[in-house]
Structure 1
Amino acid sequence: MSPITRRAAVLGCVAVTVALSGCAAVTPSKSGANGDVVLRVQGMPPATDKPGLALFKKQVSDFEKANPGIKVQGSTTVFDPLTFSAKLAGGSVEDVIKVPLTEPQRLIQQKQVQPITGQLKAWDHFKEFNPQVLKPLSDSAGDVYGVPQNPYAQGLVYNRELFEKAGLDPDKPPTTWDEVRAAAKAISEKTGKAGFVQESKENQGGWQLTMLSYAFGGDLQTQQGGKYTATFTGEATQKALGLLKDMRWKDDSLGKNLLNNQNDVIKNFAAGQVGMFMGSPGTYRLAKMQFSMENTDAFGVAPLPQAGGNATLTGGDIYMVPKSADTQRAAAAVKWLTFAYAQPQYSTDAAAQQAKALSADPKSAVGVPTLPVFDAARQAQINAAIKPYVNVKLDHFKPYIDGLSKLDLKPEPPYQAQQLYTALDTVVQAVLTKRDADIPSLLAAAEKDVNAKLAAAQK
């Protein structure tokens, strides 16, 4: 993928959900008592996210005033890779669904979601969307099937305070994985904390191995003749795992807790127990709000270090309309997507209003960088509009903002990525827990298993 040369947007995240918890079944849509269309939408923040939930409720109120006859019912349902497909196939999902960037291509190919190009084109600013952002949400004919929210690119999150205690310069974070290894060892030896932590369970080990492979110049999936194939055994992926193995068994710099999901890592990072991990700037908000990080000044983030590649993984939340939504609700759904997600990322007035509302809560985080959904000129205007309400130390995000434009942005594997991640979880876990783990054999077995499943799915 060609590099995106735009600078990262300096816009506060409205709501970021990380935990992959279970999805409750929903009943079919019904019309309201007055004949209103009742639109059920995923993406409502949980009660623990007070500023995000307050903003969501205001959006619903404003939307209903602007669209008489439509009533919005918010849902806190979050994506669960173990149950999502069955619920979607059975039609027991909301009228607007929220999925990670791993899912759109599979859902499009399996015709489980609806194209929304026609309705989106009615919006005045449709042509100003960043084409790189829409590409993973489109089919081969160019039809668009979703709207993104808070797209991100992975980087290296680090604790500036632990860097200082280890004799490292927090304003000059590692740019290569050799430097990461050296810094992790120094942090571990001089502070007693985990120098670097690798996620390893609930599909997040495979997800993080993917971004690490990108940094080493590799790919985990290829496409030929319209068919997707897993490619786990490449040299880049073997080197990436070799690095983790050395850091675990030679340096002892990965800490004592080796089986972690993302929430585990962020919780320990917020408590000052982790020196570095792979994450996005949005981690700041989670550490502060969800895990009560007191010393937020210790938060730092840099572009993903490289080791032979020149890429970082990009992702984000995608809102789509399932096939189960009838014509009336599908039209209402696109109105909601434009109003709630596209417009706030384009309109300076909407962005400023959201930033002002969020900044009123001391636990909020306004100004955390995301990737631009529209062009650089528009993003500069957004940045200026929210500047009075920014309440994070932008200097601590500067390495990330300055360095991101130098990297290629690569999406997650486009077809059934969760299948890949499940298989790679076991590989990562073996490398972290078994000194004699045979990396080539582990990758070969995982590749064979996944390719059998992909072949069956693509018949």
Structure 2
Amino acid sequence: MKHITALLGCAVLLAACGSPTSGESGDVVIRVQGMPPATDKPGLAQFTAMVAEFEKLNPGIRVQGSTSVFDPLTFSAKLAGGRVEEVIKVPLTEPQGLIARKQVQPLTRSLAAWAHYKEFNPQVLRPLSDSSGEVYGVPQAPFAQGLVYNRDLFAKAGLDPDRPPRTWDEVRAAAKAIAAKTGKAGFVHESKGNQGGWQLTMLAYAHGGDISTDKAAAFNSEPVKKALGLLKEMRWTDDSMGDSQLNDQNDVIKRFAAGEIGMYMGTPGTYRLAKMTYGMEDTDAFGIGALPQAGGNATLTGGDVYLVPKSVSAPKAAAAVKWLLFAYAQPQYDPAAAAARAKGLAADPKSAVGVPTLPMFSAAQQARIDAAVAPYVNVKLEHFRPWLEGTPSLTLRPEPPVQAQQVYAVLDTVVQAVLTDRAASVDALLAKAETDVNAKLAAARQ
């Protein structure tokens, strides 16, 4: 998995959705999510150029970009009411539920017409497939979670920036050292916007635990109790997590970019947000290692995926598949396309080219991509090397299979309680959350 890929676009989008308009006579107009926000100038410029190229190659199809972002509170209602685009972008928690409810279209036949379809990494298509093997979408920049850390704060705390923690005992020790010697938060755990539950899932996997099955909660267990107990000790005994505990990913990355946080759980892709969205000036301070372990030998995998709603007409669905292959599959397969995009992005000094992701295709093809992109890489790959070298030995585990966002919402309250109440009972919190989650899973099966 030692590879590099070109930037395809920013992971966090602004919320806005244009209404459909009519194209010229006979044109098929498709609205597509995934357009970068105005703050990502190189990404937006590349997206605009990509649309122009696609329309030139596909006369009769017009593409309207949308910066709409997935919102778990409103998505279901919008989808049911037909108020979404022809191409939707959702996190990897969602496809299995959408497939089970028959709310998205199978795309296997159209995708298989692409000459390189069989070279997809099966691992990245599995979460987008049903039990019969039908594929319902195309992934974008699949990832595996790791431990992001500030190399400068490590050095100031007397730690080796080239050797990030590999166990959670080491994370705890490093967080204490950073807090004591720099006055900064040694480690921060996200806790709101469903991200507290999401990050607890990563911590549970690292401890050998689970969150839920397709029928019941599975987190009221010793591994998860140990994971929450660790957070409680770091927060209240060590005082190594700072004073601000109600954070989502944007809060954490913004503070990290300002040099206020020593470590957090994240992916290589958060480098882009730190640099391009939050103006991290000392980007050489960014480092990332594989997710530390405590008996689980596993990390959480995920990413964004593109799907076509069931309600989309056949002509528009066919156009949507052409767009998905052109925009998200071909550039990650074709060395020349990857190099061209990397070159275009590298022309902007604020871009981030070469940030690692999981491979979309075979190892042999990925090696060709890496070689083509290499001349345009403008990140220090050696600072990503601990993640590149450590992640392949871990089991890649997907997010909870059913109602993941609803499960995360319940677990947010557990994480928040542990981080804000010294007297919080881990056992009591997990027992109550288990009851709440089982009720949600039961309702989802009806």
TM-score, normalised to structure 2, is: 0.98
Counterpart pick for 1:165 among 156, 159, 164: 156
Find the partner of 1:122 among 113, 121, 134. 113
2:412 alignment partner, one of 414, 421, 425: 425
2:205 corresponds, among 214, 220, 224, to 214
**RMSD of Structure 2 on Structure 1 (CA):** 1.1
Counterpart CA distance in 1 for 2:21 and 2:149 is 48
Alignment equivalent of 1:203, drawn from 194, 201, 222: 194
Q: Is the 8 A contact 1:8 1:371 kept in 2?
A: no
CA distance in 2, matches of 1:44, 1:172: 37
1:100-139 aligned at under 5 Å gives the runs 100-139=91-130
Which residue does the alignment assign to 1:300?
Answer: 287
Worse-matched range after superposition: 46-55 or 230-239: 230-239
CA drift at 1:379: 0.5
Amino acid at match of 1:385: A
Q: Label 1:232 to 1:23 Cα distance change in 2 as closer, same or farther (>3 A).
A: farther
What residue number does 1:247 align with?
Answer: 234
**In structure 2, what is the Cα distance between the partners aligned to 1:30 and 1:388?**
41
- Which of 221, 225, 233 is matched with 2:220 structurally? 233
1:379 to 348, 355, 366: 366
Residue aligning to 1:341? 328
CA separation in 2, counterparts of 1:108 and 1:22? 25
| Distance across 2 between alignment mates of 1:129 and 1:71 | 27
The separation in 1 between residues aligned to 2:307 and 2:175, in whole angstroms, is: 40
Q: Equivalent residue of 2:302, what SS?
A: strand
> 1:22/1:360 Cα in 2 relative to 1: closer, same or farther (>3 Å)?
closer
Counterpart-to-counterpart distance in 2, 1:325 and 1:222: 31
Deviation at 1:8, TM superposition (A): 4.4
Match of 1:78 in 2: 69
1:198 offset after TM fit, Å?
0.5
In structure 2, the gaps of 5 or more residues are none
Is residue 165 of structure 2 the alignment partner of residue 174 of structure 1? yes
Task: Using the TM superposition, give the Cα deviation of residue 397 of structure 1 relative to its aligned residue in structure 2, in angstroms.
Answer: 0.6
Q: Is the CA contact (8 Å cut-off) linking 2:40 and 2:276 kept in structure 1?
A: yes
Counterpart-to-counterpart distance in 1, 2:432 and 2:21: 48
Please list every run of at least 4 consecutive aligned residues from structure 1 whose deviation after the TM superposition is greater than 2 angstroms.
16-19, 21-24
Q: In the alignment, is the contact (CA less than 8 A) between 1:23 and 1:83 conserved in 2?
A: no
Would the alpha carbon gap of residues 327 and 31 (structure 1) be closer, same or farther in structure 2, given more than 3 Å must change? farther
Give the structure 2 partner of residue 411 of structure 1: 398
The TM-score, its normalising length taken from structure 1, stands at: 0.96
Comparing 98-107 with 433-442, which one deviates more in the overlay?
433-442
Residue in 1 aligned with 2:428?
A: 441
User: Given that residues 93 and 404 in structure 2 are in contact (C-alpha distance below 8 angstroms), is that contact kept between their aligned partners in structure 1?
Assistant: yes
Q: Which residue of 1 aligns with 2:306?
A: 319
Deviation at 1:190, TM superposition (A): 0.2
Structure 1 counterpart of 2:32, one-letter code: V
Contact between 1:42 and 1:98, CA under 8 Å: does it hold in 2?
Answer: yes
Taking the aligned partners of 1:18 and 1:33, their CA distance within structure 2 comes to 32
What secondary structure sits across from 2:278 in the alignment?
coil
- Whether contact under 8 Å (2:414, 2:430) holds in the other structure is yes
Stretches of structure 1 that go unaligned for 5 or more consecutive residues are 1-6
Q: By how many angstroms is 1:323 displaced?
A: 1.1
Structure 2 counterpart of 1:40: 31
> 1:457: how far off?
1.4
Q: Match of 2:10? A: 16
8 Å Cα contact 1:13-1:282 kept in structure 2? no
1:391 to 378, 383, 396: 378
1:277 aligns with 2:264: yes
Q: Deviations over 1:342-388 (max 9, x none)?
A: 10110001100110010011000101100001011100000000010
Measured in 2, the distance between the counterparts of 1:39 and 1:370 equals 28
Where 1:405 maps in the other structure, the secondary structure is: helix
- How far apart, in 2, do the equivalents of 1:280 and 1:352 lie? 23
Cα offset, 1:121, TM superposition: 0.4
Q: Provide the secondary structure at the position in 2 that maps to 1:335.
A: helix
Instruction: Write out per-residue CA displacement over residues 295-326 of structure 1, whole angstroms, 9 at most, x where no aligned residue.
Output: 00111000000001010000101000001211
**Aligned equivalent of 2:340, options 336, 353, 359:** 353
Q: Secondary structure at the match of 2:23?
A: coil
Q: Which has the larger displacement, 300-309 or 448-457?
A: 448-457
Match of 1:92 in 2: 83
Query: CA–CA distance in 2 between the matches of 1:9 and 1:81?
Result: 33
Instruction: Look up the SS of the partner of 2:303 in the other structure.
Output: strand
Distance in 2 (CA, whole Å) between partners of 1:236 and 1:322 is: 38
Supply the distance in 1 between the matched residues of 2:6 and 2:298 (Cα, whole angstroms): 24
| Aligned-residue offset at 1:451 | 1.0
Sequence identity, in percent?
Answer: 70
Q: Deviations over 1:263-293 (max 9, x none)?
A: 0000000000000000000111110000000
For the 8 Å contact 2:32–2:66, the answer to whether it is kept is yes
1:30: how far off?
5.3
CA shift digits 1:390-429 (9 cap, x unpaired): 0000110111111111101011112110011000000000
**Residue equivalent to 1:4:** none
1:33 is displaced (CA, Å) by 2.4
Match of 1:290 in 2: 277
Question: Residue 339 of structure 1 aligns to which amino acid in structure 2?
Answer: F
Is it true that 1:369 corresponds to 2:356 in the alignment? yes
User: What SS does the aligned partner of 1:173 have?
Assistant: coil
Aligned-partner Cα distance in 2 for 1:76–1:357: 22
CA distance in 1, matches of 2:254, 2:134: 40
- Cα offset, 1:31, TM superposition: 4.2
Aligned residue pairs total 446
Report deviation, 1:17.
Answer: 2.6
CA deviations over 1:215-243 (Å, ceiling 9, x no partner): 000111124xxxx3221201111110000
Taking the aligned partners of 1:68 and 1:104, their CA distance within structure 2 comes to 31
Counterpart residue identity of residue 312, structure 1: T
